[in-house]
Structure 1
Amino acid sequence: MAKRKKELTDKENDLLKAIGAELEKLRKNSGYTNYENFAFEKGINRSQYGKYEAGNVDIQITTLLKILGKFDGMTLQQFFKNIDY
Protein backbone atom coordinates (compact mmCIF):
# COMPACT_ATOMS: atom_id res chain seq x y z
CA MET A 1 0.00 0.00 0.00
CA ALA A 2 1.42 3.37 -1.01
CA LYS A 3 1.81 6.08 1.59
CA ARG A 4 -0.08 9.28 1.07
CA LYS A 5 1.76 12.54 1.47
CA LYS A 6 0.52 14.47 4.46
CA GLU A 7 -1.12 17.74 3.58
CA LEU A 8 0.70 20.62 5.24
CA THR A 9 -1.12 23.40 7.03
CA ASP A 10 -0.76 27.01 5.92
CA LYS A 11 1.43 27.65 8.96
CA GLU A 12 3.70 24.72 8.06
CA ASN A 13 3.95 25.94 4.47
CA ASP A 14 4.80 29.42 5.72
CA LEU A 15 7.56 27.95 7.89
CA LEU A 16 9.01 26.04 4.91
CA LYS A 17 9.01 29.26 2.86
CA ALA A 18 10.78 31.09 5.71
CA ILE A 19 13.39 28.32 5.99
CA GLY A 20 13.94 28.49 2.24
CA ALA A 21 14.34 32.25 2.32
CA GLU A 22 16.87 31.95 5.14
CA LEU A 23 18.83 29.31 3.19
CA GLU A 24 18.85 31.60 0.16
CA LYS A 25 20.08 34.52 2.28
CA LEU A 26 22.89 32.40 3.75
CA ARG A 27 23.93 31.22 0.29
CA LYS A 28 24.00 34.72 -1.15
CA ASN A 29 25.88 36.05 1.89
CA SER A 30 28.45 33.34 1.21
CA GLY A 31 29.03 34.77 -2.26
CA TYR A 32 26.98 32.33 -4.33
CA THR A 33 24.54 34.07 -6.64
CA ASN A 34 23.29 30.79 -8.08
CA TYR A 35 21.86 27.98 -5.95
CA GLU A 36 22.99 25.37 -8.47
CA ASN A 37 26.65 26.40 -8.19
CA PHE A 38 26.42 26.36 -4.40
CA ALA A 39 24.81 22.92 -4.32
CA PHE A 40 27.27 21.48 -6.83
CA GLU A 41 30.33 22.80 -4.99
CA LYS A 42 29.00 21.63 -1.60
CA GLY A 43 27.98 18.17 -2.83
CA ILE A 44 24.24 18.67 -2.41
CA ASN A 45 21.68 17.47 -4.97
CA ARG A 46 21.04 20.63 -6.99
CA SER A 47 17.42 19.93 -7.83
CA GLN A 48 16.49 19.06 -4.27
CA TYR A 49 18.38 22.04 -2.84
CA GLY A 50 16.47 24.34 -5.19
CA LYS A 51 13.22 22.94 -3.80
CA TYR A 52 14.42 23.58 -0.25
CA GLU A 53 15.20 27.22 -1.04
CA ALA A 54 11.85 27.63 -2.75
CA GLY A 55 10.11 26.14 0.29
CA ASN A 56 8.39 23.58 -1.94
CA VAL A 57 9.28 20.42 0.02
CA ASP A 58 9.22 19.39 3.65
CA ILE A 59 12.88 19.38 4.70
CA GLN A 60 13.98 16.88 7.34
CA ILE A 61 15.88 18.24 10.31
CA THR A 62 18.84 15.94 9.54
CA THR A 63 19.00 17.34 6.02
CA LEU A 64 18.85 20.90 7.32
CA LEU A 65 21.68 20.12 9.73
CA LYS A 66 23.81 18.74 6.87
CA ILE A 67 23.17 21.85 4.79
CA LEU A 68 23.91 24.19 7.70
CA GLY A 69 27.18 22.32 8.15
CA LYS A 70 28.23 23.74 4.77
CA PHE A 71 28.14 27.23 6.29
CA ASP A 72 31.08 27.65 8.65
CA GLY A 73 29.94 27.62 12.26
CA MET A 74 26.20 27.96 11.57
CA THR A 75 24.04 26.53 14.35
CA LEU A 76 20.33 25.80 14.44
CA GLN A 77 19.87 28.56 16.99
CA GLN A 78 21.54 31.09 14.70
CA PHE A 79 19.62 29.85 11.68
CA PHE A 80 16.21 30.08 13.34
CA LYS A 81 16.77 33.36 15.20
CA ASN A 82 15.21 35.40 12.35
CA ILE A 83 12.41 32.95 11.62
CA ASP A 84 9.14 33.69 13.38
CA TYR A 85 6.98 30.64 13.79
Structure 2
Amino acid sequence: MNYKNLVDELKQQTGNEREVCTDIVDAYEKYCTEEIKRPFQKEVDEKMIDWVNESTGHDKDSVTDMLNTLIAIVRKEIKSKTAFMK
Protein backbone atom coordinates (compact mmCIF):
# COMPACT_ATOMS: atom_id res chain seq x y z
CA MET A 1 0.00 0.00 0.00
CA ASN A 2 1.46 3.35 -0.93
CA TYR A 3 1.27 6.57 1.07
CA LYS A 4 -1.77 7.96 -0.77
CA ASN A 5 -3.70 4.71 -0.37
CA LEU A 6 -2.81 4.56 3.32
CA VAL A 7 -4.07 8.11 3.89
CA ASP A 8 -7.23 7.38 1.87
CA GLU A 9 -7.93 4.21 3.88
CA LEU A 10 -7.34 6.03 7.18
CA LYS A 11 -9.64 8.85 6.05
CA GLN A 12 -12.35 6.39 5.06
CA GLN A 13 -12.16 4.37 8.28
CA THR A 14 -11.98 7.33 10.67
CA GLY A 15 -14.05 9.95 8.85
CA ASN A 16 -11.39 12.60 9.47
CA GLU A 17 -10.23 15.16 6.92
CA ARG A 18 -7.33 14.30 4.61
CA GLU A 19 -5.11 16.94 6.27
CA VAL A 20 -5.60 15.39 9.70
CA CYS A 21 -4.90 11.90 8.35
CA THR A 22 -1.76 13.14 6.61
CA ASP A 23 -0.58 14.84 9.83
CA ILE A 24 -1.02 11.62 11.82
CA VAL A 25 0.66 9.38 9.22
CA ASP A 26 3.61 11.79 8.90
CA ALA A 27 3.99 12.10 12.67
CA TYR A 28 3.81 8.31 13.12
CA GLU A 29 6.50 7.88 10.48
CA LYS A 30 8.76 10.34 12.35
CA TYR A 31 7.95 8.59 15.64
CA CYS A 32 8.99 5.25 14.14
CA THR A 33 12.26 6.77 12.97
CA GLU A 34 13.13 8.24 16.36
CA GLU A 35 11.74 5.47 18.54
CA ILE A 36 12.74 2.50 16.41
CA LYS A 37 11.73 -0.26 18.87
CA ARG A 38 8.47 1.27 20.06
CA PRO A 39 6.31 0.77 16.90
CA PHE A 40 6.43 -3.00 17.33
CA GLN A 41 4.48 -2.97 20.59
CA LYS A 42 1.15 -4.76 20.49
CA GLU A 43 -0.81 -1.74 21.72
CA VAL A 44 -0.72 2.01 21.20
CA ASP A 45 0.66 3.42 24.44
CA GLU A 46 0.62 6.82 26.15
CA LYS A 47 4.15 7.67 25.05
CA MET A 48 3.23 7.16 21.40
CA ILE A 49 -0.02 9.12 21.79
CA ASP A 50 1.73 11.98 23.59
CA TRP A 51 4.52 12.10 21.00
CA VAL A 52 2.09 12.32 18.05
CA ASN A 53 -0.18 14.72 19.95
CA GLU A 54 2.71 17.09 20.64
CA SER A 55 3.96 16.82 17.06
CA THR A 56 0.61 17.50 15.41
CA GLY A 57 -1.39 19.51 17.93
CA HIS A 58 -4.42 17.27 17.40
CA ASP A 59 -6.38 16.26 20.50
CA LYS A 60 -5.45 13.05 22.27
CA ASP A 61 -8.75 11.28 21.61
CA SER A 62 -8.42 11.83 17.86
CA VAL A 63 -4.76 10.82 17.92
CA THR A 64 -5.57 7.64 19.86
CA ASP A 65 -8.36 6.65 17.48
CA MET A 66 -6.33 7.42 14.39
CA LEU A 67 -3.19 5.63 15.63
CA ASN A 68 -5.17 2.50 16.50
CA THR A 69 -6.76 2.54 13.05
CA LEU A 70 -3.48 3.34 11.28
CA ILE A 71 -1.61 0.52 13.00
CA ALA A 72 -4.43 -1.93 12.28
CA ILE A 73 -4.28 -1.00 8.57
CA VAL A 74 -0.49 -1.35 8.45
CA ARG A 75 -0.51 -4.70 10.28
CA LYS A 76 -3.22 -6.03 7.98
CA GLU A 77 -1.18 -5.05 4.92
CA ILE A 78 2.00 -6.59 6.31
CA LYS A 79 0.17 -9.78 7.20
CA SER A 80 -1.35 -10.06 3.72
CA LYS A 81 2.07 -9.65 2.09
CA THR A 82 4.03 -12.00 4.34
CA ALA A 83 3.66 -15.65 3.40
CA PHE A 84 4.43 -17.11 6.84
CA MET A 85 1.83 -14.87 8.53
CA LYS A 86 -1.14 -15.90 6.34
TM-score by length of 2: 0.35
**Larger Rg belongs to:** 1
TM-score by length of 1: 0.35
